[in-house]
Amino acid sequence: MLKEKSIFPVTNQRPERVLTFLITSIEGICLLARYQPTIALEACKNTPRISIINKQCLGGKLKTMEMDIDGASKPKDEKACEQEKEKGKQIVALLVGAPASGKSTFCENVMRASSRPWVRICQDTINNGKAGSKPLCLKSAAASLKEGKSVFIDRCNLGKDQRVDFVKLGGSEVEVHAVVLDLPAKLCISRIAKRTGHEGNLQGGKAAAVVNRMLQNKELPKLSEGFSRITFCRNETDVETAVNTYAAVGPLDTLSHGCFGQKDPSAKTQLGILKFLKRPHETDTQDSVPSQPTEGNSQCGKTQETVSSSSGMANQKIKVSEDPVPGSISQDDSDVPTLAFPSISTADFQFNLEKASDIIVQKVEEFMDKLGNAKLVLVDLTERSKILSLVRAKAAEKNIDSKRFFTFVGDICQLYTKGGLRCNVIANAANWRLKPGGGGVNAAIFNAAGAALEAATMDRAKSLHPGNALVVPLPSTSPLYYKEGVTHVIHVLGPNMNPNRPNCLDNDYIKGCKVLEDAYSSLFKGFLSVANTQVSFPSSGSISSGPSKLKEDTSGTKTNSWAPCLQALYNIAMQPEKHNKQVLEASDDLVVINDMYPKAKRHLLVLARIKGLDCLADVRKEHLHLLKTMHEVGLRWTNKFLGEDASLVIRLGYHSIPSMRQLHLHVISQDFDSKCLKHKKHWNSFTTAFFRDSVDVIEEVNNHGKATILDDNKLLSMELRCHRCRSAHPNIPRLKSHISNCQDPFPAELQKKGRLVPVHTNSDIDP
């Protein structure tokens, strides 16, 4: 066996000397594997006598590693056998990164150490050593896949449109991954400025400008594009970890699905050369993550950690903005109803894993058609979980859509905050008394949900029979609700094969399988009933459907899938008496508050108080009177402001796609003099056609029964232009410095119909 005390210093040795030395000692390889997995793999590859059976065990998991000597394959470790039996899929891994981010080096390092057949398809050299086209890369990738190889797509792939065709190469036997080399622009640019002899001839100072332009338009990949795994690397340590992870994936291995090292997907590009070359006193916040902490106490503003993969990736922190950017909410698939469930009965109740995995896959398959675009996720705490690997393999055999049913490694109580996976419903492997305790998932869920879950459960039932499930809506006071976005917990009770627990079936698997089937049917039906209370879910990547919509539930009130952190305005509108400090004015119809993150000297919100009137898209003719009242109240406040400061100009209107729930009218002065205005999207949401003037909305609703929604995402991504003279500016600070001095008249369109207050009159403008 391997002995810890045999550790010897290898890190200072030259690799070739280490290899020569190591092949004399199996133990030496194992120890090296612990500290230098890449070199150890190389040593094994070059040594016919030695191979490492389970390369996934490298990197700190020495105790599960077994050696095979002279080709005699005798793995002694049960876990190693399990993983070996599982059939690994081919992988298409798209490298995503600016020039000089290290894409080619990444591929080369993996390929040097990997026992899996990889091909690197590099657009810079694909045409007989010269740069080629995307179709050529696609063709070459398809051919390599046919030969059974896994493929690295070594091109920048910085836009979704650049990736979409490569994602289509995936299928039941091919997983598509993205490896994002999101290294500091500064590093890429300094590398590029120095490099010579680049295979695509992209080098020198001119290339730095290209990098900058590319970074300005970068779109980070999302799982909803069709990737089963995305690895974000933000520094060289992350890259090294990712190389080791991919290098350790043998032909039979698979990597777990999900986002690793995740960064806020809505955070756009880091700064490019503009920032890099800027004088130190200048700051540039365009499209960057806010650099200073944002105010407020919204639950949304939490620090997130990603789930850590078994490959030993370092957890990373990402900051979610407290002040959501308009129009961004529906851009991912976080609104799609998703059920996360643990394997039922296989832990404490000791149900046979093979049989249980058959039942899970059979039941998932049965419900797939009924679920629409909803998703099912089987969750376990550890990547080495046998049930996860069995289910993955069986689901793949049955060609079950891996985007709608997949496995996930993480804590079911922290899927969103630690894993970035939003699941609005989670299942609990409950006990028959529906009580907390007992360890495992049940204890964890009751613990995380707090007393609110216990009370809500007892309101509905006092016990549960094996084979049944109980849907419990989670009160909004539960931390699982407001931190994780879980709206329902479904308790499920499966069959028990453990003689030390109640109702043991004494190994009667005929009965046991039937009960387990019933339990999953009941669970999925319960989830279906929750999912069906939602009218429509925006298709992934679509902004046009706006934030997730609500539907009347059986009690006549609406259930909703807005993230709790986006409901602050709704909560104030529904219960203004509980928000005395914020409320400036309240009536039966509306509530007036100061915007918590004002984007100008004066910025008010007039909130409608009708339940279910979430956004402009919900407005109909019957709301006309309310719209007029909101406008009148907005005007009254406007006049007050003008009385205090006659230099102000004020505009009243709605965002086409709001970020926050509950219809609200913005009353905003046109100085835009505010530190809270940080993003291009902020600016464009108030100065492009995305902003719908209240007067126009009233007219349209009066004439056509509804308002026009200009929800084109391009409006929010447009270049920054002064709202008065229309001059273009490279970033927010420059724009702000310009608008603080610009005295040009407002565009003619804005001066019509009372869109601006006070009314600006030019002789050439229609009254």
Q: Enumerate the active-site residues.
A: 664
Give whichever of 51 and 684 is closer to ligand AMP, judged by the CB atom: 684
Least Å distance, CB 134 to ligand AMP, is 36
Is 677 an interacting residue with respect to ligand AMP (CB under 6 A)?
no
For residue 260, which phi and psi values (nearest 5 degrees)? -125, 140
CA distance 252 to 257: 16
**Minimum Å distance from CB 296 to ligand AMP?**
6
Residue 360 vs 665, nearer CB to ligand AMP: 665
Instruction: Using CB under 6 A, pick the residue from 467, 652, 658, 756 that binds ligand AMP.
Output: 658
Q: Which stretch binds ligand AMP (CB under 6 A): 143-151, 461-469, 583-591, 658-666?
A: 658-666
Structure tokens of 329?
């909410």
Q: What's the CA dihedral at 664, 667, 673, 677 to 10 degrees?
A: 10
Which segment (475-483, 641-649, 651-659, 719-727) binds ligand AMP by CB under 6 A?
651-659
Instruction: Give the range of 131-139, 191-199, 393-401, 589-597 binding ligand AMP by CB under 6 A.
Output: 589-597
Place of tokens 């627990």: 501
Nearest to 331 by CA among 546, 177, 554, 573: 546
State the nearest-atom distance from the C-beta of 283 to ligand AMP, in Å: 21
Closest distance of CB 667 from ligand AMP, Å: 11
With CB under 6 A as the contact rule, the residue among 284, 333, 383, 595 that binds ligand AMP is 595
Which member of 180, 660, 750, 756 binds ligand AMP (CB under 6 A)? 660
Whole-Å CA distances, 628 to 80, 591, 702: 69, 14, 10
**What's the min distance (Å) between Cβ of 622 and ligand AMP?**
22
Residue closer to ligand AMP (CB basis): 139 or 302: 302
Residue from 593, 633, 650, 750 binding ligand AMP (CB under 6 A): 593
Between 93 and 568, whose beta carbon lies closer to ligand AMP?
568
Binding window for ligand AMP (CB under 6 A); candidates: 123-131, 285-293, 433-441, 591-599: 591-599
Pattern of binders to ligand AMP over 316-345, x per CB under 6 A?
-------x--x-------------------
Among 306, 659, 687, 713, binds ligand AMP (CB under 6 A): 659
Distance CA 106, CA 153 (A): 11
Amino acid making up residue 492: V
Residue 736 beta carbon to ligand AMP: minimum distance, rounded to whole angstroms: 17
- Total residues at the site for ligand AMP (CB under 6 A)? 12
Residue of closest CB approach to ligand AMP: 658
Token output for 321: 């903005």
Q: CB within 8 A of 342, min separation 6: which ones? A: 378, 379, 380, 412, 427, 428, 429, 441
Binding positions for ligand AMP, 128-147, rule CB under 6 A = none
Q: Which residues contact 115 (CB under 8 A, 6 or more apart)?
A: 41, 45, 55, 250, 251
Residue from 568, 590, 633, 677 touching ligand AMP (CB under 6 A): that is 568
> Using omega within 30 degrees of 0 as the cis cutoff, is the peptide bond preceding 758 cis?
yes
Contacts of 179 (CB under 8 A, 6+ apart): 93, 94, 95, 96, 106, 230, 231, 233, 242, 246
Stretch that binds ligand AMP, among 372-380, 471-479, 641-649, 655-663 (CB under 6 A): 655-663
Kindly tell me the burial class for residue 717, based on how many C-beta atoms sit within 10 Å of its own C-beta (0-12, 13-18, 19 or more). Answer: middle
CA gap 507, 496 in Å, rounded: 9
Q: Of 229 and 755, which CB lies nearer to ligand AMP in the complex structure?
A: 755
Task: Please say whether the beta carbons of 19 and 46 come within 8 A.
Answer: yes
- DSSP calls for 561-580: -S-GGG-HHHHHHH-GGGGT
Spatial separation of the C-alpha atoms in residues 103 and 97, rounded to whole Å: 7
Q: Looking only at residues 238 through 267 of this chain, which bind ligand AMP when binding is defined by CB under 6 A? A: none
Q: Which stretch binds ligand AMP (CB under 6 A): 44-52, 196-204, 342-350, 592-600?
A: 592-600
CB nearer to ligand AMP: give 602 or 655. 655
DSSP secondary structure of 401-421: -TTTEEEEES-TTSHHHHH--
Smallest gap, in angstroms, from Cβ of residue 595 to ligand AMP?
5
Closer residue to ligand AMP in complex, CB, 246/654: 654
- The stretch near ligand AMP (CB under 6 A) out of 169-177, 488-496, 595-603, 717-725 is 595-603
User: Among residues 506, 553, 564, 547, which one has the least CA distance to residue 530?
Assistant: 553
> Of 520 and 686, which CB lies nearer to ligand AMP in the complex structure?
686
Using CB under 6 A as the binding rule, the residues of this chain from 596 to 625 that contact ligand AMP are 596-597, 605
Residues 166-195 that bind ligand AMP (CB under 6 A): none
Number of H helices, E strands in the chain: 24, 27
Phi, psi for 167 (deg, rounded to 5): -60, -35
H or E stretch covering 491 = strand 488-493
Nearest to 214 by CA among 98, 113, 299: 98
Contact with ligand AMP (CB under 6 A): which of 55, 103, 609, 655? 655
First CA to last CA distance, the chain: 91
User: Does 547 engage in binding with ligand AMP (CB under 6 A)?
Assistant: no
The residue (of 242 and 660) whose beta carbon lies closer to ligand AMP is: 660
CB of 45 to ligand AMP, least distance (A): 55
Nearer to ligand AMP, 328 or 428 (CB): 328
Least distance between ligand AMP and beta carbon 691 (Å): 9
Are 77 and 30 in contact by the 8 Å Cβ rule? The answer is no
Q: C-beta of 387: minimal distance to ligand AMP in Å? A: 42
For residues 525 and 543, give the distance between their C-alpha atoms in angstroms, rounded to a whole number. 30
Evaluated on CA atoms 87, 92, 97, 98, the torsion sign reads positive
Smallest separation, CB 299 to ligand AMP (Å): 10
- Report d(CA 136, CA 145) in Å as an integer: 14
Least separation in angstroms between CB 730 and ligand AMP: 24
CB contact at 8 A, 415 and 388: no
Measured between alpha carbons, how far is 231 from 238 in angstroms, rounded to an integer? Answer: 9
Q: Which residues bind ligand AMP (CB under 6 A)?
A: 323, 326, 568, 593, 595-597, 605, 655, 658-660
